């Protein structure tokens, strides 16, 4: 699932200024810039999928100016090995993420806030634990792997279920890999980013990341 559409409410005061600035930058991108960035991000992720040959990939459907473009699931589905499965998220009532198989654009339904979700049978929130590669949205990521989302916490909950041996990747626009971002205890790091110019960039998530505890939010994205 992509992050909420660009006019959605931004929450959590400590990160609000950064979110607003990053969203404004994305809105200022021209259509040509967005298409070019999407093509480069797709190429990098396709190369990664072909190299890793994962049996199950968890990804999302970008909307608006999100990196990767609306064709990202179809592109990833074409790149996975025969018999492999691509999962897309479905937002639950409690703001956790369920997962359902991609079956093409004809098996998507509008879900509000600019989001479309798969209509295929749901596999449960723990389906992400069996993914060999996880691609998640972000407004920005820092060099420790700290990911800035829209503030609801859905992807932090999902990432908390992913084994530490699994590669987690956030597609970004150029300029969205930052030196440092504010972090809270519920924030879950990603292991790499993909940018149009830099390609796949592994991150040092072992240094300085705020440790996870069970305290803090219990829902949201």
Q: What integer pLDDT is reported at residue 212 of this predicted model? A: 35
Encoding tokens for residue 104? Answer: 């093409």
Q: What integer pLDDT is reported at residue 150 of this predicted model? A: 80
Q: Dump strand ranges (E) for 52-208.
A: 56-58, 85-91, 97-101, 108-110, 116-118, 133-135, 140-142, 147-148, 167-171, 177-178, 192-195, 199-202
Q: What integer pLDDT is reported at residue 4 of this predicted model? A: 41
Q: Dump strand ranges (E) for 51-94.
A: 56-58, 85-91
Per-residue pLDDT of the chain (221 residues; tens, 9 = 90+): 444 444 444 345 667 889 999 999 999 999 999 999 999 999 999 999 999 999 999 999 999 899 999 999 999 999 999 999 999 999 999 999 999 999 999 999 998 777 899 999 999 999 999 999 999 999 999 999 999 988 778 999 999 999 999 999 999 999 999 999 988 777 889 999 999 999 999 998 644 444 333 233 323 33
Rounded distance between C-alpha atoms, residue 72 and residue 35, angstroms = 12
Backbone angles phi, psi at 56, to 5 degrees: -140, 130
Instruction: Tell me the whole-structure pTM to 2 decimals.
Output: 0.86
Cβ atoms < 10 Å from Cβ of 119: 13
Q: What integer pLDDT is reported at residue 152 of this predicted model? A: 76
CA distances from 76 to 4, 48, 80 (A): 21, 10, 6
Q: What integer pLDDT is reported at residue 153 of this predicted model? A: 84
Cβ atoms < 10 Å from Cβ of 190: 22
Which residues are within 8 A (CB) of 20 and not within 5 positions of it... i.e. 6 or more apart? 10
Encoding tokens for residue 20? Answer: 């607003």
Report the candidate in 185, 177, 145 with the shortest Cα–Cα distance to residue 164. 145
Q: How far is CA 199 from the centre of its chain?
A: 16
Domains of the chain: 13-202 (3.40.50.10420)
Rounded distance between C-alpha atoms, residue 96 and residue 215, angstroms = 16
Rounded distance between C-alpha atoms, residue 145 and residue 124, angstroms = 26
């Amino acid at each position: 699932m992509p992050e909420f559409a660009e006019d959605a409410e931004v929450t959590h005061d400590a990160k609000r200024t950064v979110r607003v600035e990053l969203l404004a930058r994305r809105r200022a991108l021209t259509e040509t810039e967005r298409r070019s960035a999407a093509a480069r991000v797709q190429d990098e992720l396709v190369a990664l999928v072909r190299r890793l040959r994962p049996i199950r990939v968890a990804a999302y459907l970008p909307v608006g100016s999100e990196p990767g473009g609306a064709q990202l699931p179809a592109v990833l589905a074409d790149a996975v090995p025969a018999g492999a499965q691509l999962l897309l998220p479905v937002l639950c009532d409690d703001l956790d993420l369920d997962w359902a198989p991609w079956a093409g654009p004809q098996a998507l339904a509008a879900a509000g806030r600019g989001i479309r979700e798969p209509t295929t049978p749901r596999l449960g929130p723990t389906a992400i634990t069996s993914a060999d590669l996880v691609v998640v949205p972000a407004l920005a990521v820092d060099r420790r792997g700290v990911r800035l989302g829209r503030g609801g916490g859905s992807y932090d909950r999902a990432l908390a279920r992913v084994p530490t041996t699994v590669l987690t990747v956030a597609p970004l626009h150029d300029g969205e890999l930052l030196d440092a971002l504010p972090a809270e205890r519920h924030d879950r790091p990603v292991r790499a980013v993909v940018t149009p110019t830099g390609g796949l960039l592994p991150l040092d998530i072992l240094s300085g990341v705020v440790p996870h505890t069970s305290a803090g939010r219990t829902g949201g994205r």
